[in-house]
Amino acid sequence: MTEAAFQAIQRRFAAHLRDPDNAPAPPVEERRLQIYRDLFFSNVESFLRLGFPVLHRLLPAARWQALARAFLVQHRCQSPYFRDISREFVTFLASDAFQPAPEDPPFLCELAHYEWMELVLDTSEETLPESGFHPDGDLLVGAPVLSPLVCVLSYHWPVHRIGPAYQPQAPLPQPVWLLVYRDAEDRVRFMEINAVTARLLALMQAQPLHSGKRLLTALAGELGQPPDGVLRHGAGLLDGLRQRGILLGTRLDDVSRLPADGH
């Protein structure tokens, strides 16, 4: 058998495993072929079930099986690793290839993304630095150091509260902001925050050399609020973020060398 002929059989075999109802079977004994079909689908479906436990519980069994099959048939994964299946599934749900069923919950895509983010933080190879910052530094005078294991998310549905007992049918009047982070004990945690806190965290990421005072003063300007009030409230907010491990402390850099408005 030539290499080209062998590759053609491989492609036919793979196509049949993905879509046995529509792709012709290769010349393999049916008993063996059925074992391959069952193993292939069961392996992928089990990864999806583990990665999206809430979504799996909410969907009827037949719909879940059909959704897993649609993913196999219509999506071409860009990664060969099983650990990336969850990411590929979220990509599929966000693509034009995904066709929602009438019985699908309206929050399906956002819930899947939320569940995937827990896996992203849980399996991230990033680690918390052990040096390069003052753990007890003054967060107003110094530049706050944000943990590398933090992600700020925004959804139109209260995905962090959805479950069998709570399945909303209308989106929230205002988006919900969620902070997902991995703490020093490697546990993934979720925290609901407001838009102002989300903006402050975004400013920290954009301006990592700026002191807490400078960041809060900039935030006050964006809000059109007097700086003093924002600084008083912000000092407690920064301290609370540090207690949770979201802020690690302050940079070792001497921020006093920044321009005068950067205190």
Cβ(246)–Cβ(155) below 8 Å? no
Query: pLDDT value at position 262?
Result: 43
| Same domain, yes or no: 142 and 256 | yes
Residue 143 class from Cβ within 10 Å (0-12 exposed, 13-18 middle, 19+ buried)? buried
Question: Minimum mean pLDDT among 19-23, 38-42, 118-122: which range?
Answer: 19-23
Task: From 192, 181, 109, 107, select the one nearest 146 (Cα to Cα).
Answer: 181
Higher pLDDT residue, 6 or 97? 97
Same domain, 164 and 248: yes
| pLDDT greater at residue 62 or residue 12 | 62
- 238 falls within a domain: yes
Task: Determine, yes or no, domain membership for 37.
Answer: yes
Same domain, 138 and 256: yes
The two tokens of residue 80 are 């060969």
Averaged confidence pLDDT in the chain: 90
19, part of any domain: yes
**The pLDDT value given to residue 263:** 45
Is 125 within a domain?
no
Where is mean pLDDT largest: 1-5, 75-79, 82-86, 247-251? Answer: 247-251
pLDDT band at 6 (very low <50, low <70, confident <90, very high): low
- Residue 3's pLDDT is 73
User: Using one digit for the tens of pLDDT, what is the confidence trace for 145-166?
Assistant: 999 999 999 999 999 999 999 9
Residues 255 and 152 in one domain: yes
pLDDT tens figures, 205-219? 999 999 999 999 999
* CATH number of the domain to which 236 belongs: 3.90.930.50
- Which residue spans within the chain are E strands per DSSP? 133-134, 144-146, 150-155, 176-182, 188-193, 247-251
Q: Indicate whether 5 pLDDT > 70.
A: no
177 and 255 co-located in one domain: yes
Task: Kindly state the average pLDDT of the residues 66-70.
Answer: 95
What pLDDT is attached to residue 255?
A: 54
User: What integer is the mean pLDDT of 237-257?
Assistant: 86
30 and 70 inside one domain: yes
On the question of pLDDT at 260 being above 60, the answer is: no
pLDDT of residue 32: 81
Nearest to 70 by CA among 39, 48, 103: 48
What is the domain count for the chain?
2
pLDDT band, residue 38 (cuts 50/70/90): confident
- State yes or no: pLDDT of 138 exceeds 90: yes
- In this prediction, residue 259 carries a pLDDT of 55
235 alpha-carbon distance from chain centroid: 28
Q: Looking at the structure, tell me whether residues 153 and 248 fall in a common domain.
A: yes
More confident residue, 199 or 258: 199
Within-domain flag for 38: yes
Same domain? 256 vs 184: yes
Write down which residue in 85, 104, 123 finishes a domain.
104
Region 104-132: mean pLDDT is: 94
pLDDT above 80 for 2: no
> Range of 53's domain?
3-104
Residues above pLDDT 90, as percent of the chain: 70
Residues 174 and 235 grouped into a single domain? yes
Contacts of 190 (CB under 8 A, 6+ apart): 118, 160, 178, 179, 180
241-261 average pLDDT score: 78
Cβ neighbour number for residue 131 with a 10 Å cutoff: 6
pLDDT of residue 199: 97
